[in-house]
Structure 1
């Protein structure tokens, strides 16, 4: 299928993507029908939304709740989005749980938080150095947004936010926000540090700036690049180098379903001139694509391994980081099941490491996906052992299914209620915003038309998957491989129950890494 699947490096340079959608990659009628139904629901919602004059701002925050006449409103976040504990919760169980990192030394020089700032939250005598030594300080650093061009009439901050891991009266631990600085380059008057002790309106604006930054990084760096476009070269490479009946190709086909078609649609609509990214995100099209490019420049396939990604942020071990971190805890359960599954599958077809080395198609696959004149994927090596092959396959299955679901499905839960996470601020509040109440907050939020556009776009992207992890359209014809898949499904069912029990005591439910709602592939 090499002729049908060709590399394209001009559509979104320097990314390597598939040239068009070959016939073999066109989704089936079930996929098309499901997406058409969802599109009709979203169109009906937009048509029934009560909007008088779309050019006028809303009169109150509660007016945003009127934008869900057909679609289900995200009630949990509507009711709780102003709370500091929910603001912190979104760092570990929200739509972007991959930004927070442990502070192991000093804070950045241009974020001059003091012991006094921390003591106001953690109690008299608390110091930054002691808290860091006890693994209690955690940072959001949106350096990737520094200098990104803003869209017309929009503002995109590049903030810092510091959190403290506190003991609670129940004996558990909870993250609490300590300080926020809206931009780099600290200044006591023009770019001050805000804390929960600041004027309530000022603190609300500071938290909003973090949410805006978080959404823009989520959409372009973690979602569009880290899942969609980083995985596409593997789907193209599979078609170009692995025979249709190659066992690794057969496994991967289950997890690349609809990926190429979805990405092609995204390039023609989502990131097209005048499309949703251009119209709603803080960086518009130019700035947003620069965010994607910056993310790609530092991303490696080896670093995308879920345990390595957690370790890179210092949060892999609950004993030396955040004890209650649903994204990590549920994700590692699913990762372990996937790793066992692909290890069992590899053992069916490769008796030892020598068999891996002797497979020319497998070597050609990894070589072409990594090559500059191929997929341009950094950090991908030709597997030389069974365990290296297991590591490669586990990352591919995890990113295409569980990770993408955790990043994508949560958009409906957190991003469709615009006051919680707007795609942009529609007025530059700097220097030193000083809010005086709801009216000032409304002036920063997207208006009626942009808000409805954000809801419609994200509701479509967060559509329910058509397939369930481990349940494939066709069973493996090899009984030995199907036996491995059956064990995989059984382990996922057990994880469902474990996560259900964990959710009983969580601040908010976190279902997006529950296996029964995870798809096999990036089918949206």
Structure 2
């Protein structure tokens, strides 16, 4: 496809749409924005928050450098006292950025910038020893805001790259991964990462709680026998009984079956398409999944079944599943089903709906920053040689193909099928016996958003005829599904592309957009910093093949499966930045955003319900295996802006 074919011309009758043009080559053939209009670029406060996170990461790296030197000193001369800290060992030289040397000693005293503070970091005089650092940080944010330092990842690499003697080489023990966390928080699940209970918990409350589904047929049981099942679920239980009672669940990563193993930057690396079987013990009330068996590939004849009785082979099989879960998460659940699903709606809304159109007024705050961050992703993160290419097990071309397939060719997913209640029903995971924090919390937030949208839409559309008579809305719907427009699969009533004739479907479609851009993205994004920074919990890639037998596993240390320390440190830095920046809050619209006074009562009810949901989730978290914080409404941004 030529560049001329890749970019469509906006309607000549709508000059305001000239900034919003489609491109079909960035992540071909998906629809993205050709460029980012100036009005869609982040605010200075957003850059201030980003820079603050980057300096937190640098502070962690400098502290690791100091502690690593102390460890080496203790190993070589155990009787010799550790040398006194050098005056500049907590400093990073950013002279190349025109910022001089930043002393991060007092980084913990520098508050995260917020919109309510004076300037980016409040009154410098009140920051004491951190005042100079605050001034330098503000300057770094201002230069970033003016686009003088490249993209967000460029800034991260410029700052952390200025630190010498960073982690490198193969780990000597698992402790080396723990040692990477000095000032940044270690995920709470890290201490139990090898336990079967934690492995199962990740499928329902981890970074990607979106794959597990109910087992439907005997082939879903992976060939597990009764003895193997009863060893985990209890004496006398059988495979057929558990299957017929709906107590078996499968995490199937068949979407990754075509991924080609990568080797950048220091491979070879390995990717898998495993299947993992889980079960609920007999009983009543909500119960936690227990892992029963794993095959590390789709072909049963070529991939043995491993169970919890298999020792080292079982540990390595679980690692294969965790590795697949990272790629599935990043390329499908995160990039595909949030970032790139929402993008065409941003473009079409600006092209087809006037700014004062009621649907446009509601949607635009939920689109803030999305075009910008998506452009950053396609230009650097998922580009050849970018961070995703470095960290994931497959080639970047194969990984990107997984994303495209998930949006255009997956028979189980499209815009309408992806609506939360339908998606949960499709996977067969609505049984309350299954302890499933993502499902339970997500349904609360979806319900609140749906109620808010229904009230809002009802103000402007009192009948289906009103929806049909809205020419702008109909043009918007038609463009979303057009091959010369948004190319959105599955948007429309009754399986008809672009059909938008009822108030009910309009409410569901807007609910899907608001939920995806806020809560769904929060669930998959912030778990990056909450779980995925610790590589043994979430290896971006495997560095040896899956075990071909129990004997093979026993001859090869499981540690060899995991990434080298430079990739582990890069994963820690990269995902801390992406998973820590909370900008805006669900339900908090700009002051006087809604000029129509009829909206205000419904908005107040929405905000009050979100607060109640937050209390409910916090109470639930007191009795869960691990807290699941990612859908607490106060921690959910309005839009995909990171």
Q: Does 1:225 align with 2:336?
A: yes
Say which SS state the counterpart of residue 411 (structure 1) adopts. Answer: helix
What is the SS of the residue equivalent to 2:219?
A: coil
2:177 counterpart (54, 64, 69): 64
C-alpha deviation, 1:167, in angstroms: 4.2
1:469-496 deviation per Cα after TM superposition (whole angstroms, max 9, x unaligned): 1011233121111221111000111111
From 159, 166, 169, give the equivalent of 2:281.
166
Q: How do 1:484-503 and structure 2 match up within 5 A?
A: 484-503=602-621
Deviations, residues 446-489 of structure 1 (Å, cap 9, x unaligned): 01111011111111110231111101123312111122111100
Distance (Å, rounded) in 2 between the aligned partners of 1:193 and 1:414: 27
**Match among 150, 172, 177 for residue 261 of structure 2:** 150
The aligned runs of 1:360-379 (5 Å cut-off) are 360-379=471-490
1:443 is paired with a residue whose SS is helix
Query: In 1, Cα distance between the equivalents of 2:562 and 2:384?
Result: 23
| Residue in 2 that maps onto 1:404 | 521
Alignment equivalent of 1:13, drawn from 28, 39, 48 = 28
- Say which SS state the counterpart of residue 197 (structure 1) adopts: helix
- Aligned partner of 2:325 in structure 1 is 214
What is the deviation of 1:46?
Answer: 3.3
Q: Distance between the aligned counterparts of 1:487 and 1:172, measured in 2? A: 31
Gaps spanning 5+ residues in structure 2: where?
1-15, 69-164, 493-498
Match of 2:536 in 1: 419
- Asked if the contact 2:61–2:166 (Cα under 8 Å) also holds between the matched residues in 1, the reply is no
Tell me the distance in 2 between the aligned counterparts of 1:410 and 1:247: 33
Q: Quick check: 1:93 aligned with 2:217?
A: no
Residues 1:237 and 2:348 aligned together: yes
What CA distance in whole angstroms lies between the structure 2 residues aligned with 1:213 and 1:384? 41
Q: CA deviation at 1:273?
A: 1.4
Contact 1:77–1:417, Cα closer than 8 Å, also in 2:
no
Q: Counterparts of 2:244 and 2:300 in 1: how far apart (Å)?
A: 25
Against the structure 1 CA distance between its residues 225 and 53, is the aligned structure 2 distance closer, same or farther, given a 3 Å change threshold? closer
Instruction: For 2:367 and 2:278, locate their aligned partners in 1 and report how far apart those are by CA, in whole Å.
Output: 38
Q: Pick one of 393, 407, 411 that aligns with 2:510.
A: 393
| 1:130-187 deviation digits (Å, cap 9, x = unpaired) | 111111000011111113101110011111100011147x965221000011112223
The alpha carbon displacement at 1:28 in A equals 1.7
Q: How far apart in 1 are the matches of 2:379 and 2:62?
A: 24
* Cα offset, 1:431, TM superposition: 2.4
1:113, CA displacement in angstroms? Answer: 2.1
Q: Which residue of 1 aligns with 2:638?
A: 520
The structure with the larger Rg is 2
What secondary structure does 1:302 align onto? Answer: coil
Cα shift at 1:295 = 1.1
1:309 maps to: 423
Whether the 8 Å contact between 1:77 and 1:413 is mirrored in structure 2 is: no
The alignment partner of 2:618 has SS state of: helix
Say if 2:280 is the partner of 1:205. Answer: no
CA shift, 1:9, in A, is 0.4
* 1:253 pairs with 2:368: no
Question: In 1, are the aligned partners of 2:317 and 2:547 still within 8 Å (CA)?
Answer: no
SS of structure 1 residue aligned to 2:341? helix
Residues 1:44 and 1:268: Cα distance change in structure 2 (over 3 Å) = farther
- 2:233 corresponds, among 113, 122, 128, to 122
Cα pair 2:528 2:576 within 8 Å, conserved: yes
**1:357 matched to which residue of 2?**
468
Q: Is the 8 A contact 2:259 2:395 kept in 1?
A: no
Looking at structure 2, the residues matched to 288 and 407 of structure 1 have their Cα atoms a distance apart, in angstroms, of: 18
CA distance in 2, matches of 1:400, 1:172: 30
2:160 is the alignment partner of 1:43:
no
The CA distance in 2 between the partners of 1:210 and 1:368, in whole Å, is 39
Matched, 1:4 2:19: yes
- Name the residue aligned to 1:79: 191
Distance across 2 between alignment mates of 1:167 and 1:141: 23
Helix, strand or coil for the counterpart of 2:343? helix
Runs of 4+, deviation exceeding 6 Å = none
The question of 1:34 aligning with 2:146 is answered no
Measured after TM superposition, the shift of residue 39 of structure 1 is 2.1
Partner of 2:97: none
Structure 1 residue runs of 5 or longer lacking an equivalent are none
Whether contact under 8 Å (1:85, 1:176) holds in the other structure is yes
**What are the residue-to-residue correspondences of 1:466-505 with 2, within 5 Å?**
466-475=583-592, 476-505=594-623
TM-score w.r.t. length of structure 2:
0.78
Distance 1:430 1:506 in 2: 33
Alignment of 1:462 onto 2:477: no
Distance 1:336 1:78, change over 3 A: same
- 1:317 Cα deviation (Å)? 4.0
TM-score w.r.t. the length of structure 1 is 0.95
How far apart are the structure 2 equivalents of 1:223 and 1:252? Answer: 20
Q: Is the 8 A contact 2:313 2:547 kept in 1?
A: no
In 1, the alpha carbon distance for the partners of 2:403 and 2:216 equals: 28
Summarize the alignment of residues 247-396 of structure 1 with structure 2, pairs less than 5 Å apart: 247-296=358-407, 297-298=409-410, 299-318=413-432, 322-381=433-492, 382-396=499-513
- Describe the shift of the 1:456–1:378 C-alpha distance in structure 2 as closer, same or farther (beyond 3 A): same
How many residues matched?
514
Please identify, of 43-52 and 484-493, the stretch whose mean Cα deviation from structure 2 is larger. 43-52
Bigger drift between 346-355 and 219-228 goes to 346-355
Q: Report how far residue 47 of structure 1 moved.
A: 4.1
**Deviation (angstroms), 1:54:** 4.7
By relative contact order (CA 8 Å, sep 6+), the higher-ranking structure is 1
Q: CA deviation at 1:445?
A: 0.5
